[in-house]
Amino acid sequence: MYTARNGDAFLIDAGGTYLLIDAGFASTYQNFIATDLAQLAKGGGRLDLVVCTHIDADHIGGLLEFFSGNGTPAKRGIEVDAVWHNSLRSLPAPTAEPDGFHDRMVLEAIRRRGFPRAPISSPAPISARQGSSLAKLLREHGYTWNSGNGSTCISEGGALALSSDVRVQVIGPATARLEELRSRWLKEVRKLGYKGSSQPTDLIDDAYEMWCASAPAPAVPRANPIAANGSLRLEEVYTPDTSIANGSSITLIISKGNKRALFLGDAWAEDVAAKLRSLYTPTTPIIFDVIKVSHHGSRHNTSVDLLSVADSPCFLVSSDGTRHGHPDFEVLAEIVDRPAPFKRHLFFNYETAASKELESHTSKSGTAFSVHLAENDWIQLGEQL
């Protein structure tokens, strides 16, 4: 779990099968991930799957840096067998005439803005490649993208066997979430004077992804009831996320043998809970070996209902606390306050106000838990659990 500032970046070793899930900002890749991938390639390793969960700057920036410099099919820095990334060309588009001159100028204006840069406080800040979308890089550099050329989307129900005992199951997003994001994109560029039909082109790819990576999330009301004892429970403060970009996150169950990992990107709690119920019809919480908490521990993406469906002895929380105060303490407290027949271990890649508060917290159910700081080092499932 790399130190990705307020973003996500995970490298997974499933018994010699490697997955990279998001890569934070460009500086995350350059400062940390690049060295590990070079070492992996030197030893004959490869990336079996790279996943861009969704088009947010704190998830996609490092992947832009990686794919822009990983070479051509004739000479790769490290081989990549498959890439999952939902861009505009992954959704079917109506047949129409190509964009006219004015439409292209509107798209060019968006492209010139480029991708958002890493936070100023980031160590040795490095800007993402400004001129090319991830879609364009994948197509031009010949990667197997969404099982082909990127013209289909990765959505709930999909699956991929990476080896004889490693499988990746897609539990989200629903195609409707991706369609909602496209509709919002079209609505916003219409305001800028675009009248085209967003037929797949390099310019469309660039403008769409750059807009998605920098589009402001809709305001989510924050409930602030006054608690008599000064502490609030998650059920008192939870309000659902309404960001369509977050709702489009690719969410995964990665299994190896009898081990299962749940990676939630920035997904909506309601979508995840509903899908898990449809898959497992649980009467008690489904136990995963590890859960990557959605949206950096935001109280808008983890609900009491979701935690009643899924539990684990190991939770991963990726955030430095600089954006929106993630993680929210109410989420962390709700995780550890529930009764369980096992000890829970919560891993953070930064010390934050909420993680420090959790260290002095006592579980209301008496269930044991521990707090760990994991900075760019392997978390060995099963050893410390």
3-class secondary structure for 91-104?
CCCCCCCCCCHHHH
Report pLDDT for 120.
Answer: 59
Predicted pLDDT at 117: 76
d(CA 285, CA 312): 9
Predicted confidence at residue 130, as pLDDT, reads 53
pLDDT tens, residue order, the chain (385 aa): 999 999 999 999 999 999 999 999 999 999 999 999 999 999 999 999 999 999 999 999 999 999 999 999 999 999 999 999 999 999 987 777 888 999 999 999 999 888 887 765 544 444 444 568 999 999 999 999 999 999 999 999 999 999 999 999 999 999 999 999 999 999 999 999 999 988 889 999 999 999 998 877 666 555 555 544 557 899 999 999 999 999 999 999 999 999 999 999 999 999 999 999 999 998 999 999 999 999 999 999 999 999 999 999 999 999 998 877 899 999 999 999 999 999 999 999 999 999 999 999 999 999 999 999 987 789 988 654 4
**Cis bond before residue 221 (omega within 30° of 0):** no
Residue 24 is predicted with a pLDDT of: 95
Task: Report the alpha-carbon distance of residue 238 to residue 304 in Å, rounded.
Answer: 8
The closest alpha carbon to 314, from 259, 265, 356, 272, belongs to 259
Total-model pTM: 0.93
Domain ranges of the chain: 9-216+230-373
What does the pLDDT read at residue 125?
45
- Name the CATH code of domain 9-216+230-373 (choices 3.30.70, 3.10.150, 3.40.50, 3.60.15): 3.60.15
Please give the distance of CA 226 from its chain centroid, rounded to a whole number: 33
Question: β-pairing, 159-161 with 166-172?
Answer: antiparallel
CA dihedral in degrees (245, 247, 152, 112; nearest 10)? 0
The answer to whether 298 and 330 have CB atoms below 8 angstroms apart is: no
E strand or H helix at 167, and its extent? strand 166-172
Q: Can you give the pLDDT at residue 198? A: 87
pLDDT for 291? 98
